């Protein structure tokens, strides 16, 4: 009896951890946009010190000590020695895709499109993961999962093909190339994230989660810094040590990046994968509500239609998962929940 009670308590606490993590992940995008707006109020020689590039780079740096402190027990010579060259190579690729490229694309999307559009377009990752799982691993989907994936895919494409234009784009906004540019960046980020998840699921399942998280965040920050330095020059990060930037990044890195990941992993240990996948389905809805209260963004008809299709598609997929093992969630925390603040 006591064992059943403990198991039930563990499952309940696991679901609480998952929902707290999903709440944090859902607020990540509107919080990032809000921080850049706050930075514009305190310019340094006319520059915004809380630029999207600085948030990505410094936010990761601030999260690393927290992640390492929590998972330091996994950083043993034995664990490190068991990681093969192939796994280190895959870690580098995953760090490039999930730690640098995907967040950089998401941040660029946030500068060009409404938060709700970015959130719903990024959900294209879910049907991509299902398709890749079927193609690469021979996974079989039932009709509910297939219908849900198709509905989610169509819903995610709506703001991509019919962008709302809620945020001004570049000076060439009237050019056809700028049509839906922000939503396009969000779609590319979803592709990079999905590929990274598939690579992690296939080749990094044996790597301890603490090593995976810390290395991915560290390598992602370094890769992003080097690429941005090469493309834009060293002056691109000249405000990276601004006091107001670090004041907010210490909070952002610890809560949005580190705490969100820790709650997610704690929930996965105690609850079922299906519970995690179901909870992550509500990230777009939470993000849209957060964008309304933090940024005053009111979704238009296109975004409402997109959101309804995406959420219904995700829920239908979860209903189908009750009839067959879920295939879209990486056991190491992956990216089934989308952008997680890094």
pLDDT, residue 31, reads: 92
Count CB atoms within 10 A of the CB of residue 171.
8
Stretch 201-222: mean pLDDT: 85
pLDDT, residue 269, reads: 78
- Tens-place pLDDT, residues 317-335: 767 766 655 444 444 444 4
Q: Are 313 and 328 contacting, i.e. CB atoms less than 8 angstroms apart? A: no
Percent of the chain with pLDDT over 90: 13
pLDDT, residue 45, reads: 86
Maximum mean pLDDT: which of 174-178, 190-194, 199-203, 275-279: 190-194
pLDDT, residue 173, reads: 41
Give 243: exposed, middle or buried? Use CB within 10 Å, 0-12, 13-18, 19+: exposed
pLDDT, residue 49, reads: 92
Q: How far apart are the first and last CA of the chain?
A: 42
Q: Find tokens 């409402």 and name the residue.
A: 304
HEC profile of 16-71:
HHHHHHHHHHHHHHHHHHHHHHHHHCCCECCECCCCHHHHHHHHHHHHHHHHHHHH
- Tens-place pLDDT, residues 103-155: 889 888 888 888 888 887 887 777 777 777 777 766 676 777 777 777 777 77
Count CB atoms within 10 A of the CB of residue 65.
13
Model confidence pTM above 0.75: yes
Stretch 311-315: mean pLDDT: 78
272 or 3, which is more confident: 272
Q: Compute the distance between CA of residue 145 and CA of residue 151 in angstroms, rounded to an integer.
A: 10
Give the up-direction half-sphere exposure of residue 286: CA atoms within 13 A in the CB hemisphere. 20
Q: Compute the distance between CA of residue 342 and CA of residue 103 in angstroms, rounded to an integer.
A: 6
- Tens-place pLDDT, residues 232-254: 887 888 888 899 999 999 889 88
Going from N- to C-terminal start, the domains of the chain cover 14-321
84 or 1, which is more confident: 84
pLDDT, residue 99, reads: 85
């Amino acid at each position: 009896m006591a064992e059943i009670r403990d198991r039930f308590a563990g499952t309940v606490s696991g679901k609480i951890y998952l929902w707290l993590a999903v709440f944090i992940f859902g607020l990540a995008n509107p919080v990032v946009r809000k921080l850049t707006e706050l930075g514009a109020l305190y310019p340094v020689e006319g520059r915004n010190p809380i630029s999207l590039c600085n948030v990505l780079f410094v936010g990761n740096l601030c999260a690393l000590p927290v992640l390492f402190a929590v998972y330091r027990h996994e950083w043993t010579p034995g664990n490190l020695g068991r990681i093969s060259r192939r796994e280190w190579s895959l870690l580098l690729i995953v760090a490039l895709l999930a730690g640098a490229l995907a967040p950089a694309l998401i941040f660029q999307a946030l500068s060009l499109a409404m938060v709700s559009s970015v959130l719903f377009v990024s959900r294209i990752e879910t049907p991509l993961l299902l398709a890749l799982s079927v193609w690469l691993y021979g996974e079989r989907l039932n009709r509910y999962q297939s219908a849900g994936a198709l509905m989610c895919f169509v819903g995610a494409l709506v703001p991509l093909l019919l962008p709302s234009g809620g945020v001004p784009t570049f000076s060439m906004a009237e050019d056809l190339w700028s049509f839906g540019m922000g939503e396009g960046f969000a779609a590319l980020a979803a592709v990079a994230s999905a590929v990274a998840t598939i690579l992690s699921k296939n080749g990094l399942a044996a790597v301890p989660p603490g090593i995976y998280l810390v290395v991915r965040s560290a390598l992602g920050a370094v890769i992003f810094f080097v690429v941005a330095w090469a493309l834009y020059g060293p002056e691109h990060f000249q405000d990276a040590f601004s006091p107001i930037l670090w004041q907010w990044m210490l909070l952002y890195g610890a809560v949005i990046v580190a705490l969100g990941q820790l709650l997610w992993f704690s929930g996965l240990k105690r609850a079922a994968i299906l519970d995690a996948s179901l909870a992550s389905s509500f990230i777009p809805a939470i993000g849209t509500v957060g964008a309304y209260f933090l940024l005053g963004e009111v979704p238009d008809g296109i975004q409402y239609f997109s959101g309804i299709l995406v959420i219904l598609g995700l829920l239908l997929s979860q209903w189908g998962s009750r009839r067959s093992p879920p295939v879209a969630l990486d056991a190491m925390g992956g990216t089934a929940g989308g952008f997680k603040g890094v």
